[in-house]
Amino acid sequence: MSTFEIAGDDFLLDGRPHRILSGAIHYFRVHPDDWADRIRKARLMGLNTVETYVPWNAHEPQPGEWSAEGALDLARFLRTVQEEGMHAIVRPGPYICAEWDNGGLPAWLFTDPSVGIRRSEPAFLAAVTAFLERVLAIVRPLQVTEGGPVLLVQVENEYGAYGDDKDYLRHLVAVFEGAGITVPLTTVDQPEPAMLENGSLPGLLKTASFGSRSRERLATLREHQPTGPLMCSEFWDGWFDHWGAHHHTTSVEQSAADLDELLALGASVNIYMFHGGTNFGFTNGANDKGVYQPIVTSYDYDAPLDEAGEPTEKYWAFRDVIAKHASVPAEEPVVAAAAPAFSVPFLDAVPLFAVASRLGDWQHTDDLPTFDALGHYAGLGLYRTEIDTAEPAVLEFGEVRDRAYVFVGSTRVGVLARDHHDSAITLSPSRGTLTVLVEDQGRVDYGPRIGEPKGLIGPVRLNGEGLRRWSVLPLRLPPLDAVRAELDAAGSAVEREPERLAGPVFARAAFELVEQGTLFLDTTGWGKGVAWVNGFNLGRYWTRGPQETLHVPAPVTRAGHNELVILELESAADATAAFVSEPRLGHTDF
């Protein structure tokens, strides 16, 4: 066991001044069998600490439904950090932002409008307390003072940009201390006077988040915290991407120079991100500052380790900078060989509508419900009702969240896109079943629209008359068992290997590998959808770009037979699956 404390302007580890050189790795964005590799590469770059957020909504997707196993095994992650001879920083929020769905806050919190999010309101405090007690029960025995790796634990996250409820912060501190957290507690805010004052309490170490002008930003931090170690706990070395924009990169030379300046001033640092990883499944967040912008599947972040865990030019530049200020291991990380490149045809396919009823339960209601009202907090769902109009008619919704494919019978008649502010479509004279397939493209993770419900938002009218008697089917994906059964039943019906796939459709391909290994799935020949390899949800793809490949972690693959399933929502001009030798993130198609 060790001691770790703050004395004067220093961190003291076992009584000696200690500088934290940390890098962010989110365990929930990396396959657990890859954790050790990424952590080891952090040490070889010269870091001595690994930092992670804790996503409440992943650990507790439904009230009381708690999971801390597999990819959510925080204890295993922290022990892996310790096994590499490193320390850890844990940031459990409860709000994390992180470009993660809903900023990490569970969507079910918002279904009761009386709950006061991120403030001292009783229902919220009760839910937060229960969550934190579960997380801190994992962290407590892994503190450095208990023989574990954890040096610091953060209270809330950039709270000064959101509110100034000191009673709320005091409640959180009481929960942390009551749970046995004895290592120093920190807060983080951007180095703006109001944020630094509103986002912390006396007795908590204030830290700052920035990615440039290190001297100026640390001076602002010092003005608001006269004593204590200086720390940038989010040194932004890159940025995130959203669909339809360019892939963000930062200058290697400038980022290295800013890091050098920060370290020369004696500050501690947490590099955000050291390794970003991937928004697997339906976990990406979104921004909305007037235009809705969902985050892409890749969380590459232009970090020192790329999405697949390989060192970049920035890795070597940062390693050289750190070597000027601290000891860096002589050993260098091994760079992986290029991934195998090959193509395989899709062998069978089945329309989504043919299998939908096996992916959930239809619910019937007079009024139009949101996904949230049905307890469905991610992915896709179907809305159906009957219409009968002898003349062209305008179908209008209050709001679409976030993309709706409109069908009359089996014919797709149009798409309503939230990022284009679409809410109405003109229908030809129609009689029959109106079906609307809705995709939740990711919940807003920052700002006033956090927590908003998904699906279709009423009222809904056809030529001004309210439409009622809805049937709604939340789609459960995964598992894929029902999809596989339908594909097996389809059998040889698609042996002709179609030239294209007209969505919404599930399609399956098979491929053989000599050995387990990382792959990069090329999605440029497809429209928009989701992909699974051996049942593991790789995340979303979209021809809009900038992302052109999906990262397939090596532990997901296996020697011998492998399966790829996609759900193509629009249209794939190329009914083959291609794997390429390296990731591609640069394409943009507006």
- pLDDT of res. 589: 42
- 363-408 pLDDT, tens per residue? 999 999 999 999 999 999 999 999 999 999 999 999 999 999 999 9
- 323-349 pLDDT, tens per residue? 999 999 999 999 999 999 999 999 999
- Kindly state the average pLDDT of the residues 513-532: 97
pLDDT interval class at 590 (50, 70, 90): very low
Strand ranges across the sheet with 519-522: 536-542, 528-533, 560-568, 505-513, 342-351, 576-580, 519-522, 549-552
Percentage of the chain beyond pLDDT 70 is: 98
- 175-220 pLDDT, tens per residue? 999 999 999 999 999 999 999 999 999 999 999 999 999 999 999 9
- Kindly state the average pLDDT of the residues 418-440: 97
- 454-498 pLDDT, tens per residue? 999 999 999 999 999 999 999 999 889 999 999 999 864 444 455
- pLDDT of res. 500: 81
- pLDDT of res. 587: 52
Q: What is the pTM of this model?
A: 0.97
439 pLDDT higher than 80: yes
Query: Which position has the higher pLDDT, 312 or 499?
Result: 312
Q: Who's near 113: CB < 8 A, 6+ residues apart?
A: none
- pLDDT of res. 498: 56
**HEC per residue, 10-67:** EEEECCEEECCEEEEECHHHCCHHHHHHHHHHHHHCCCCEEEEECCHHHHCCECCECC
355 pLDDT higher than 90: yes
Catalytic positions are 158, 234
In whole angstroms, give the CA distance from residue 16 to residue 72: 34
- pLDDT of res. 497: 53
Report how far apart, in Å, the C-alpha atoms of 333 and of each of 39, 203, 275, 321 are. Answer: 11, 40, 14, 17
- pLDDT of res. 586: 78
In whole angstroms, give the CA distance from residue 222 to residue 228: 9
- 260-277 pLDDT, tens per residue? 999 999 999 999 999 999
In whole angstroms, give the CA distance from residue 293 to residue 444: 9
- pLDDT of res. 432: 95
Percentage of the chain beyond pLDDT 90 is: 96
In whole angstroms, give the CA distance from residue 233 to residue 248: 21
Q: Position of tokens 């009673």?
A: 167
- 86-124 pLDDT, tens per residue? 999 999 999 999 999 999 999 999 999 999 999 999 999
Q: Position of tokens 């993660």?
A: 100
pLDDT interval class at 32 (50, 70, 90): very high
- 210-263 pLDDT, tens per residue? 999 999 999 999 999 999 999 999 999 999 999 999 999 999 999 999 999 999
In whole angstroms, give the CA distance from residue 190 to residue 210: 7
